[in-house]
Structure 1
Amino acid sequence: MMAAYSPRSCQAMLFIPLPFAVALLLLVLFVAVLRRDEEAVPNRPFLALILLAALQSVLSGLRWGYGVQAVGLVAPVIAAMVPPLAYAGVSRLVRTSRRPLPARMALHAVPAALILLLMAVWREAIDIALVLIFVGYALAILLLMGPGADALRLAPFEGAVPAYRAIIFTAAALCLSAAIDTFVFLDLTSAHSARALMLISIGNLAVLVILGIAAAAASRSRAPAEMVETAPRPETSEDKETIAAVDALMEARKLYRDTNLNLDRLARKTGIPARQISAAINRAMDKNVSQYVNDYRIGEACRLLAGTEKPVTEVMFEVGFQTKSNFNREFRRVTDMTPVAWRQRKG
């Protein structure tokens, strides 16, 4: 992604209109995400990330397909904006920052400002700076995801697993881009530009597609993948009290039916800190909070499938799921069967 915009560019490259096709694909993806989330508050950094990936693809096509050298003046700055947008999108699902919005914007504008400065005073350092920016933000994203699934406090439980996986893919894509740029930098310095150009053409476009798709999936805010396994710790009396309080609220008010339920909202309704709820469920039940909530949903789904004639899709929506893929995955996790097989056996 970044090396394609290096000031040390080669002069010729076999033109294939692939960058423009990738840009069109990303624009279609952007429209699909925008329509999908039109009734909900969108994750604007992820939407901006998809648009930025499309713009980068267009710039790549202009640079290497049509020889528009002026693109090299803006493309490095555009590239430096990608990691901050990815991090900002993840932050929207993890926590509400205590810093005011202008302070956050100023902080994440530093990478682009740094590249602008280097373009004026030290152009040879742009590649290295971009690699460090991409790797640094990738590590920052992985640190945010350190607690695993329960790190996504503001993401609905029903969608946590795909969102978590998409975020990990986003961090991996940033690292892949940095690795590609490092290789291209070394390749160009050794005068083997043919390999560098091929890597720019294929590798960077692949990274753009991965970033776009990952941002679209994460913006859907489904539910994070299973937490990283850690050594189990003994539950405490406080854990039992916490789980009892959450259980009572779940059973009395059927909170699990709320499709927008997340850890932050659950903490507000119970009056118990989110971190305390997460730790108690992790220790006492060896699962994350999204799995705990989905267990309630699947339990009611099993009762409805066995005791009523309601269609499977109606049951899915009634218990709090929004997509068949999530419903079927969680149903299999709990029962080792599909919803249809469960109904047939119980019927």
Structure 2
Amino acid sequence: MKPTGIIIALALFVGITLPLFLSNTAPSPQITTIRIAISTTPLSAPLIIAKQQGLFNRHNVNVELQPLPGGHLCFDAMINGDVDLATSSESVVMFNSFTRQDFRLLASFAESDNDLKLLTLHTDKNRNIAQLKHKKVGIVKASASEFFTDSLFIVTGQEDIEFKKIYMSAQALGPALLAKEVDAIAVWEPYGYRLFEQAGEDIYQYPSKGTYNLSFNLVSNEINSSLHFEQHVNILKALNEAQAFIIQSPELAKQIVSDYLNMSMAAVEWSWNDYIFRLSLNNSLLSMLQTQARWAVASEAVSKQPLPDFRLYLNDAALVKAINH
């Protein structure tokens, strides 16, 4: 073969084989894993379904869920850098807004007007909430549990009733009530169901449906809201599809949530019809945050200070892009 022919042949060989060699030896691009702390409640259903049904993968985002027993703990994990996103009630957002500005609320994805319950031991005299005067009420500090309790006293015309707030974890509330260490507890699901399942007719629930409309939200720290913007958009797209799945296949959706949370179907169904799953970030949430902040100052749940400007905390950019694209 002539030298020119050899050179051409070598060039063709290198041109064909070098890309194949590089493709086999070059490191693959790293896919960022977004860690989300989710509260172990059926309110987290859209995130659970999106994960279990592969909806996050469909939108090219790798998500790792980290279950924790309460939105306040999820929020703390996010602030501490243990996770990138957190689920929490707007009450947790409100309380934290008095002490920090380094987080952003990306979207609400669930609502309920009956998730919080005020429970006591069943006696005839305890049917009137006024009987809790000077009594001990178990509450999860700086959470929806605290705001809900005060709201219920106000709505029932008992705002002047004095009672003692006993702060403890959500898991400890039920056992404390049964041990008569407190006289009533304000607790969210699934802890309310578990208490009824355990003690049955010994438990009385004060009527409260509609007293407080809880929203469950996806929260990011301020840096990640910019750094992982596109991932957040894709996560919200997946949640939007998960909510459609809940509407189209409710029984399968409940089964997925039951399996993931290791809860009985009865426990999931206990509160399922009280939930509304939809993506939003609107003025009603802003109004609720402002209302709760005024309550927090007036009730001295926080030190007296100017109210936060909650418009700074609501960042709907990812939500708008997720819904419109």
Q: TM-score, normalised by structure 2?
A: 0.23
Report 1 or 2 for greater relative contact order, CA contacts < 8 Å, sequence distance ≥ 6: 2
Larger radius of gyration: 2
Structure having the higher helix fraction is 1
Structure having the higher strand fraction is 2
Q: TM-score, normalised by structure 1?
A: 0.22
